[in-house]
Amino acid sequence: MALTQRQINLVQESFAQVEPIADEAARLFYDKLFEYAPDLRPLFKKDMAAQRQMLMSALKLAVKGLDDLEQLAPVLGKLAERHVDYGVRPGDYTPVGNALLWTLKRGLGDERWSQELRAAWVDAFRLMAAAMKQAAYPECRASSDAGE
C-alpha cells in the first residue's frame, strides 16, 4: 500500500493543527483507547504525562517520515519491537487506530474533519501498523509474504 502525496499532505497538515493541543489530544487518545480496550490499561505502567509526551513525539516522527517510507520503516520496526516487550499484541493495533481517528476528529473539529482526511489517516495508520507488525511479529511477516 502506498500513500499519495495528497494523503501525505493531508495527514501532515492536520497533525500540525493538533500539535498545539498535543497533551490534551494524547489525554483524549488514552481515555478513548482504554474505553475501547480496557485490557490494555495494565500495559501502561509509566507516568501517563511522560507516556502522552512519548506518544505525540512518536506520532510526529511517523507523520513527518511519511515523506520517506524507506527510512521510516526501520524506525517503526524498532518501535514495534519495543512494544512487544511491553506486551503489545498484533490485535492491539486496531483499538489504537480507532482511538487515534476518534482523537483526531475531536481535536480538529467537525469543520476540518472530512471523509477525505479520515481516509488519508486510515491509510497512513494502516501502512504504519503493517510496517510495525511485520517487523515485530514473525507470524505477520509470514501472512504478509503469502499475499504477495
Q: What is the rounded distance in angstroms from the CA atom of residue 27 to the CA atom of residue 19?
A: 13
Cell (9 digits) for 89: 499484541
What is the model's pLDDT at position 33? 97
What is the model's pLDDT at position 146? 38
Q: Is the pLDDT of residue 145 over 60?
A: no
Alpha-helix runs per DSSP H in 37-92: 48-65, 69-86
Q: What is the rounded distance in angstroms from the CA atom of residue 108 to the CA atom of residue 17?
A: 7
Q: Is the pLDDT of residue 147 over 80?
A: no
Query: Taking a C-beta distance cutoff of 8 angstroms, is the pair 127, 3 a contact?
Result: yes
DSSP 113: -
* Domain hosting residue 106, numbered range: 5-146
pTM: 0.89
What phi, psi does 3 have (nearest 5°)? -100, 145
When pLDDT is averaged across residues 34-40 and rounded to a whole number, the result is 96
> 3-state DSSP call for residue 37?
coil
What CATH number has the domain bearing residue 109?
1.10.490.10
Q: Residue for cell digits 509474504?
A: 145
Q: What is the rounded distance in angstroms from the CA atom of residue 26 to the CA atom of residue 35?
A: 14
The count of structural domains within the chain is: 1
Q: Residue for cell digits 476518534?
A: 102
